[in-house]
Chains A and B, each alone.
Chain A
Amino acid sequence: MIIDINFIGLIIASIMASAVPLILASCGELITERSGVLNLGVEGMMIIGAISGFALMTVTGSLIIAVFGAMLAGVLISTIFAFLTQTLITNHVATGLALTIFGIGISAMIGKNFVGIPGKEFPVLFQGLKDTIPLLGPILFGHSIVFYFAFALPFITSYFLKKTKIGLIVRAVGDSPESASNQGINVKLVRYACILYGGAMSGLAGAYLSMIYTPQWIENMTGGRGWIALALVVFSTWNPIKILIGAMIFGGLTIIQFHMQAIGVRIPVQFLTALPYIVTIIVLVVISRDSRKIRLSTPSSLGKSFHKDN
């Protein structure tokens, strides 16, 4: 059997493409969680980003406005979460759930007029170089700018957390808000910023889905990716580089499912579709079994409210 080497390249490229929204949303959520905030609203923010991006693209015709508009929409919707959890000191889990339910509802409400409209073609970079190198060509070239950004993001995030002063402040706030506050750091301000950043990245992830990956609007089109992104953060033990690995595994599961159907493997479709969720559970179990390691890498104040009495 002869396997075309470029075909393998194409498969790897498609796995990477399906990993993009997971990387974006997970890296955003990772920063939020590093500051001690657990935002379960990723799915909601993502779907808001998806409809905002698609709607803005259809209405304005400008891809740049659409992409930045989707990020802004993610920021706006996460402001609700930030205001509730930081200013009104509400429970993170409940507020995040409300955000997801609200986001799915409002996106369908806005999206009503955009169902069935075809998307626009999103420009890709280095298209001409795609055929110059076997195997690596399709992997490296011919992708959208968001794709390249997503694969750079884990490294940028890692650098930010480890090497910059602001990154240090974020980690300090997440690990010990009391001592950070005593050092004169405005804990709530830092957490606000981290939540809004997470919102922007989830918004971008959503826009990638509705504008680049499958350019159209379908109700509920994120289909649980926001939740898998949340699981990936645990999977990575809050290390951005490992998000890259996790996202590739999950992207791979999604793509393999299509190819197995295509070559006629006689496994029920539903089982293949369920695979990413089942694997997520198994991975979570394996990662969490070592409770000491989890405790060491989890931001100490994750999910706990901080309030300074005057």
Chain B
Amino acid sequence: MIKIVKRDQPSRAIFFFTPVLAIFLTLVAGGLIFFILGFKPFEALKFFFIVPIADKYGFSELLLKATPLCLIAIGLSFCFKSNNWNIGAEGQLTFGAIVSGGVALLFYEQEGFYILPIVILAGAIGGMLYASIPAILKTYFNTNEILVSLMLVYVSKLILDYLVVGPWSNPEGFNFPETRQFSDSAKLPLLFEGLRIHAGIFLALAAVVISWFVFYKTYLGFQMKVSGFSLKTARYAGYKGKKMIILVFLISGACAGLAGVGEITGPIGQLHREISPDYGFTAIIVAFLGRLHPVGIIFASLVVAITYLGAETAQIFMQIPKYTGQVFQGMILFFLLASDYLLFFKIKFIGSKK
């Protein structure tokens, strides 16, 4: 007999254990899907999760993909902690990239130490501007932020498309949908010879440290936690709800914008049509898998980054479509949410031990 009992209070140990359980269950289910598709499950999982990161180059690629995921997820955790559903980080990333790319193009064929900081700052500002739209509409017009932030994703991608095909396209580029190459001073330096990992990783690490400090050491962090727990309590305590909503959206937008900067000023060094393989959406999963905790998000971003690499490897070696990565990402979130049940309920096996 199985009996389900409600816990007196959510279990702290299980809070950090369930993400691990979710990853394990995803692997099991993923193996099952591969089996149904006619592949050997263990071999397929090996191609998906181990082969891509087995060498130095693979590990660099892992960090390259984990960097934007971590950065965006850190920003999103500010929103999610305070009950603001910003799901348009992909748009904020794109708009940040547009603004910083535009600034980088202004410095075409110019060199100077001051260029890169300006380009990075422009990206953060671009992301903030774009995130301020759903924030302002939510606070002053009571508009649902989920739908607005999402609609803006489509708009941002179309703006980017317009710019790289039209006014910003490379005049010597044979009509390819891309801009000129940025000057070296506008690019984030690569960290190692022959590897693509770049200095953007330090932006992500800085975001981790700062967010940890804000969450656990400042009054703002406390206010966010209370608002996330109960909006009524927050109002009763006299917190300025509107200001906080706008602030968390701006932080989140800045992080997404910085991720956009990393994508265009890193190895690529120009604006083109597809700057992000949906990092902004995947980062939502990363934020949850990392339990909205800065350190948790680091681990989660590494785990989820593997699904990107794995999907690419599996596509090359097994002719599995690259969208398989999304299947895994969706499953991780399903299993994570499902195993949260264990936070609040205990499953007791009655009679088996007697």
Contacts and interface: CB of A to CB of B under 8 A. Distances in A.
B148 A309 contact: no
A308 to B, nearest CB: 11
Interface string A292-310: 0010000000000000010
Interface stretch (B115-123, B191-199, B248-256, B336-344): B336-344
A268 to B, nearest CB: 5
21 contacts: A84-B337, A88-B340, A93-B85, A97-B284, A98-B333, A98-B334, A101-B285, A102-B327, A102-B331, A104-B326, A105-B326, A109-B321, A234-B147, A270-B162, A274-B155, A277-B151, A281-B147, A281-B151, A281-B152, A284-B147, A291-B142
Interface stretch (A18-26, A187-195, A223-231): A223-231
Interface string A32-52: 000000001000000000000
A271 B142 contact: no
Interface in B319-354: 320-321, 323-331, 333-334, 337-338, 340-341, 344
Contacts of A271: 158, 162
A109 B323 contact: yes
Interface residues of A, number: 46
A101 B283 CA distance: 12
Nearest to A269: B162
Nearest to B328: A105
A231 B147 contact: yes
Contacts of A99: 330
In the complex, the 8 A-B pairs of residues with the closest C-beta atoms, listed nearest first: A102-B330, A105-B326, A108-B323, A105-B327, A98-B333, A270-B162, A90-B337, A270-B158
B143 interface: yes
Given A105-B324, A277-B155, 14 more contacts: A88-B340, A94-B284, A94-B333, A98-B333, A102-B326, A105-B325, A108-B323, A280-B147, A281-B151, A284-B137, A284-B144, A284-B148, A285-B143, A289-B142
Interface in A77-111: 80, 84, 88-91, 93-95, 97-109
B154 A284 contact: no
A158 interface: no
Contact of B148 (A273, A281, A289): A281
Interface of A is mostly: helix
Contacts of B329: 101-102, 105
Interface of B: 6, 37, 85, 87, 137, 141-144, 146-148, 150-152, 154-155, 158-159, 161-162, 165-166, 281-282, 284-285, 288, 320-321, 323-331, 333-334, 337-338, 340-341, 344
A100 B90 CA distance: 15
Interface of A: 40, 80, 84, 88-91, 93-95, 97-109, 112, 219, 224, 227, 230-231, 234, 268, 270-271, 273-274, 277-278, 280-281, 284-285, 288-289, 291, 294, 309
Contacts of B143: 281, 284-285, 288-289
Q: Which of B148, B159, B285, B288 gathers most chain A CB within 10 Å?
A: B148
B337 A278 contact: no
